[in-house]
């Protein structure tokens, strides 16, 4: 039976992954942790074990792993791309030293470890269309640098010490539960909130900027399916290209207009996040994930838009 510790569990992914995992593995077998408890997630925190853990504090993390007999860590504690460009030292410290601490504990305590990578591993010299699984990785952001280094470090711990490390390169994730934590793809979440609240959105990403995206239910399935996949069939491990859709701001706006015809899209482009977006692929080739562990996303753009608007109407109490 898995006993899972999730770090950074109150973020965009963790807050939904914890609920899904508690449904599969049992409430007491999924230990949530984050820097501190947040009032916004009171019910979630009270639905099972929660511990305050800073991933830079190896001693505390080791104590929690021993206390609950943890055998699996999903390491979600991280600083994302836009915040990382504002504070590169913090981004390096948490993304690299936090991961190193988790991997060292994995080696000592024989843990399975899942760590998400990102489309941010790619850069301007990477082929932008149908970006292959194995290709040029020369990112231009500190976040991207930490993600490439993280993939290599996870590979090293698998090859050198036999630690069962696994990961995917997530594209931008879209969800209605917890707001994103400061990335470049965040516009594709905020657009739904503003479409419902004020029927208008001002995008910080310019028209024509294609990026890969995915709806959160597919992302959660990816984590669990890869964690549970037969390790002998995994050639890549850290990390697999996965994608569900690719669109630019005009295309997501067109999808929203099918449900809110008066919706209007404006632009006020942020040069920092636009430069990051320009350096990322237009679309990924995820055939390795499909072949090696059966990756098969369920949501395309219109299906996601319909579900996002339905769920957000209830959350925001908008008729
Ligand atoms: P998020 O910013 O929403 O959440 C990160 C969480 O980490 C926050 O709750 C924060 O409090 C916590 N945290 C920060 N510093 C910490 C520390 N020192 N110790 C413990 N916790 C700390 O991020 P997310 O979107 O949930 O992303 C999780 C992982 O998935 C990250 O590795 C990220 O790079 C990756 N990823 C996310 C996306 C996306 O679109 N959300 C896309 C690609 C990859
Ligand atoms: C970000 O924009 O930083 C994240 C990511 C794609 O890694 N959403």
Give the start-to-end residue ranges of the domains of the chain: 4-171+214-241, 174-213+245-282+300-316
Give the mean model confidence (pLDDT) for residues 108-126: 98
Longest dimension (CA), the chain: 58
CATH number of 4-171+214-241: 3.40.50.720
Closest residue by Cα to atom 12, ligand 1, is 8
Give 267's strand partners: 203
Say how many Å lie between the CA of residue 271 and the centre of ligand 1.
23
Q: What's the 258 CA to ligand 1 centre distance in angstroms? A: 32
Q: What percent of the chain has pLDDT over 70?
A: 100
Mutation probe of ligand 1 site: the residue of 181, 241, 284 with most atoms within 8 A of C-beta: 181
Average pLDDT of the residues in 206-230: 98
Quickly state the pLDDT bin for 38 (edges 50, 70, 90): confident
What pTM did the predictor assign? 0.98
Q: Is the pLDDT of residue 259 over 90?
A: yes
Concerning whether 143 is annotated as a catalytic residue, the answer is: yes
Residue 156: CB partners within 8 Å, gap ≥ 6?
Answer: none
Q: Specify the CATH number of the domain 174-213+245-282+300-316.
A: 3.90.25
Report pLDDT for 280: 98
Ligand 1 centre distance from Cα of residue 270 (Å): 22
* pLDDT for the residue 40: 86
User: Residues near 294 by Cβ (< 8 Å), separated by ≥ 6?
Assistant: 225, 229
């Amino acid at each position: 039976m898995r006993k899972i510790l999730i770090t950074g569990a109150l973020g965009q992914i963790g807050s939904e992954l914890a609920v899904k995992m508690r449904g599969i593995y049992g409430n007491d077998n999924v230990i949530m942790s984050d820097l501190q408890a947040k009032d916004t997630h009171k019910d979630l925190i009270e639905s099972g074990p929660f511990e305050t853990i800073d991933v830079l504090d190896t001693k505390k993390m080791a104590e929690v792993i021993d206390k609950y007999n943890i055998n699996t860590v999903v390491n979600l504690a991280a600083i994302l791309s836009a915040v990382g460009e504002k504070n590169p030292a913090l981004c390096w410290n948490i993304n690299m030293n936090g991961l190193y601490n988790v991997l060292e504990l994995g080696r000592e305590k024989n843990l399975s470890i899942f760590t998400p990578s990102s489309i941010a591993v790619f850069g301007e010299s990477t082929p932008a269309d149908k970006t292959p699984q194995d290709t040029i990785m020369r990112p231009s952001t500190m976040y991207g640098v930490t993600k490439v280094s993280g993939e290599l470090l996870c590979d090293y711990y698998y090859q050198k010490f036999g630690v069962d490390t696994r990961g995917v390169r997530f594209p931008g994730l879209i969800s209605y539960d917890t707001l994103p934590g400061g990335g470049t793809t965040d516009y594709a979440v905020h657009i739904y909130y503003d479409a419902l609240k004020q029927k208008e959105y001002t995008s910080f990403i310019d028209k024509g900027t294609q990026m890969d995206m995915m709806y959160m239910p597919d992302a959660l399935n990816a984590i669990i399916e890869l964690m549970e996949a037969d390790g002998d069939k995994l050639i890549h491990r850290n990390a697999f290209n996965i994608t569900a859709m690719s669109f630019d701001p005009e295309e997501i706006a067109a999808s929203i207009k099918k449900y809110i015809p008066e919706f209007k899209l404006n632009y006020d482009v942020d040069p920092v996040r636009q430069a990051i977006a320009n350096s990322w692929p237009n679309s990924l080739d995820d055939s390795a994930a499909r072949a090696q562990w059966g990756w098969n996303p369920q949501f395309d753009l219109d299906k996601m838009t319909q579900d996002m608007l339905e769920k957000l109407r209830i959350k925001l109490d908008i008729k």
